[in-house]
């Protein structure tokens, strides 16, 4: 009897000792907490989370960062249209104030991100933006480095640079290759578009093109027939579009159904989706849409990354997926080089980032913006062609296909 009790106590002591020793060992390995703020009810939000998760799983499988595992905490930014920025600000406060994350990754709506910035700055937490395009976000880094040094943009290229890319397309492709003399410009009335369009118009006119129409429409617009009619009447030969939150699906369907004799192209964020062509029943044929990543050998990493995302989640990624993925790796890299997660040390290392991603080579300029241009991340002009195939038709040095016309404009 006594023997039993003693051995029981001994066993208990051994277990307790082992447990506390194990506990002590793991207690040192507090995970690195990555906070994700994004609109989780929307596809771009889910892709940000999934892209980040893929990266976190890969890094953890290789041993983590500085001996610590990576862990994710997601906070919903809500839908900007319905809730305004207050849910996003609450999300930032929750992740920084309660969960004490080491880094924030996310963003989608520029208005929400801009509103979140002072709160992120107050919390002295690093923010790697992966979805908002407004230049005003990174401008703060230059205007007030001390307070906003925490803010980086990994993805996408900011809208001012995108505008330059569009102008390049207009002068090089539309005027240069196709010989067009007259174009129309149409954009949704988001702030970044309202800033972009006048610059595009001036640039196009300076290059000798006529721009009879440069108009905006409300994001909720469901009927584009007036604008198609006006464009047709104006004699424009091409319609440059800038759509992000707006109803791209309906836009192309109405364009196709009315057989508008003007080809369309430009920025169409929804048109970047791999299943966009099927979603609109093939009516997106010949639409050109800028894209940052698609299943093509942009870099040696692109196709393997694309395939591993599809394998893990059974769907094709959108641009925020590669943003979320890259942001995690970039932070992990900086933390490794700094040897710690101390914010200021990591910022110094982040500024020295040189990371080969699926989109291109990522380096930051002095505004903490991802660099664009040859060798870096590029804005590609991708066209939907027969059977939903996508071909890069511009810039010339990365093009892998010829541009086609809408089927009803093709002379037989």
Partner 1 sequence: MSIHRTDWLGALVVLAALALVPAILGSTYVTGIMTVALCFAMWAASWDFMSGLTGRENFGHSLFIGAGAYTAGFLNVNFGASPWWSLAASPLVAVAFSLVIGFPTLRLRGPYFALAMLSGAAVMQSLTIIFSEYTGGQDGLNGLFPFFDSELAQYYLTLFFLAATVATLRLVANSPWGTILRAIRGDEASCQAAGINVTFYKIASLMISAAFAGLGGALYAHYQLQVGPDLFAIILSINIIIMVYVGGMGSIYGPVGGAILLILLTEALRAFSEYRLWVYTLILMLILFFLPQGLVAPLWRRLRTIVQ
Partner 2 sequence: MAEILVYGAVISAIYAMLAVGFTLIFGVARILNLAHGSFYALGAYGVYALTADAHLPLFLAAPVAVLLVALFGVAVERVLVRPLRRSTLAVLMITLAVALMVEQVLLLIFGSEARNVPSMVNATFHVMGADVSGQRLLALSGAIVILSGLWFFMQRTRLGSAILAISQDAEAAQYMGIPSDRIYSLVMGLSAGIAAAAGVLVAPFQTVIPGMGLLPLVKAFAIVVVGGLGSIVGSIVGALLLGYTETIIAFKISIEWSQIVSVAAVLITLILRPAGFFGKRAAF
Size of the site for partner 1 (CB under 8 A): 37
Length of the chain: 412
- Please state the closest distance from residue 120 (CB atom) to partner 2, in A: 25
Residues 81-120: x where in contact with partner 2 by CB under 8 A, - otherwise, as a string: xx--------------------------------------
Which listed residue (179, 218, 314, 410) binds partner 1 by CB under 8 A?
Answer: 218
Cβ-Cβ contacts under 8 Å for 172 (sequence gap 6 or more): 394, 395, 396
Tokens for 387? Answer: 């059977």
User: What minimum distance in Å lies between the beta carbon of 276 and partner 2?
Assistant: 9
The contact mask relative to partner 1 for 3-42 (x = CB under 8 A, - = no) is -------------------------------------xx-
Residue given tokens 């500085």 in the structure block: 66
Could you say which of 73, 123, 199, 250 contacts partner 2 (CB under 8 A)? Answer: 250
Shortest Å distance, C-beta 137 to partner 1:
9
Among residue numbers 39 through 68, which ones bind partner 2 (CB under 8 A)? 41-43
Residue 141 as a binder of partner 1 (CB under 8 A): the answer is: no
Applying CB under 8 A, which of residues 71, 221, 343, 363 lies at the interface with partner 2? Answer: 221
Query: Interface with partner 1 by CB under 8 A: which range of 185-193, 232-240, 278-286, 381-389?
Result: 185-193
Contact track, partner 2, 157-196, x by CB under 8 A: --------------------------------x-------
Residue 138 or 248: the one with the smaller Cβ distance to partner 2 is: 248
Per-residue binding string, partner 2, 325-364, x by CB under 8 A, is ----------------------------------------
In the complex with partner 1, which residue's Cβ is closer, 45 or 64?
A: 45
Q: How far is CA 274 from CA 46, 279, 319, 371, 393, in A?
A: 15, 9, 11, 25, 17
Q: Is 90 in the site for partner 1 (CB under 8 A)?
A: yes
Binding residues vs partner 2 (CB under 8 A): 41-43, 81-82, 189, 215-218, 220-227, 229-230, 247-250, 253-254, 257-260, 270, 273, 279-281
Binding residues vs partner 1 (CB under 8 A): 40-41, 74-76, 80-87, 89-90, 93-94, 96-98, 110-111, 114-115, 117-119, 122-123, 134, 136, 189-192, 194, 218
């Amino acid at each position: 009897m006594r023997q039993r009790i003693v051995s029981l106590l001994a066993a208990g002591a051994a277990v307790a000792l082992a447990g506390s020793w194990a506990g002590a060992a793991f207690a040192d390995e507090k995970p690195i907490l990555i906070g994700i703020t994004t609109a989780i009810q929307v596809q771009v939000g889910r892709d940000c989370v999934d892209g980040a998760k893929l990266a976190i799983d890969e890094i953890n499988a290789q041993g983590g960062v500085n001996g610590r595992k990576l862990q994710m905490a997601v906070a919903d930014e809500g839908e900007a249209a319905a809730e305004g920025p207050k849910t996003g600000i609450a999300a930032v406060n929750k992740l920084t104030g309660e969960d004490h994350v080491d880094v924030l990754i996310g963003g989608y709506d520029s208005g929400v991100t801009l509103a979140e910035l002072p709160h992120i700055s107050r919390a002295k937490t690093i923010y790697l933006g992966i979805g908002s395009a407004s230049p005003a976000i990174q401008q703060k880094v230059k205007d007030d480095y001390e307070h906003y040094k925490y803010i980086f943009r990994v993805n996408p290229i900011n809208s001012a640079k995108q505008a330059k890319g569009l102008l390049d397309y207009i002068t090089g492709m539309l005027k240069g290759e196709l010989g067009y003399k007259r174009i129309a410009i149409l954009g949704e009335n988001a702030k970044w578009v309202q800033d972009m369009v006048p610059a595009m118009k001036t640039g196009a006119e300076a290059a000798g093109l006529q721009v009879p129409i440069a108009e905006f429409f409300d994001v909720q617009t469901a009927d584009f027939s007036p604008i198609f009619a006006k464009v047709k009447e104006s004699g424009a030969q091409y319609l440059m579009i800038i759509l992000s939150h707006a109803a791209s699906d309906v836009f192309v369907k109405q364009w196709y159904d009315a057989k508008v004799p003007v080809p369309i192209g430009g920025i169409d964020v929804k048109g970047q989706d791999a299943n966009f062509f099927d979603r609109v029943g093939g009516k997106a044929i010949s639409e050109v849409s800028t894209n940052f990543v698609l299943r093509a050998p942009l870099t040696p990493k692109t196709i393997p990354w694309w395939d591993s995302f599809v394998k893990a989640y059974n769907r094709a990624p959108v641009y925020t997926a590669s943003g979320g993925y890259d942001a995690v790796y970039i932070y992990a890299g900086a933390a490794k080089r700094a040897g710690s997660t101390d914010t200021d040390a990591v910022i110094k290392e982040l500024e020295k980032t040189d990371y080969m991603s699926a989109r291109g080579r990522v380096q930051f300029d002095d505004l903490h913006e991802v660099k664009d241009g040859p060798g870096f991340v590029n804005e590609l002009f991708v066209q939907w062609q027969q059977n939903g195939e996508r071909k890069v038709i511009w810039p010339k040095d990365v093009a892998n296909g010829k541009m086609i016309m809408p089927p009803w404009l093709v002379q037989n």
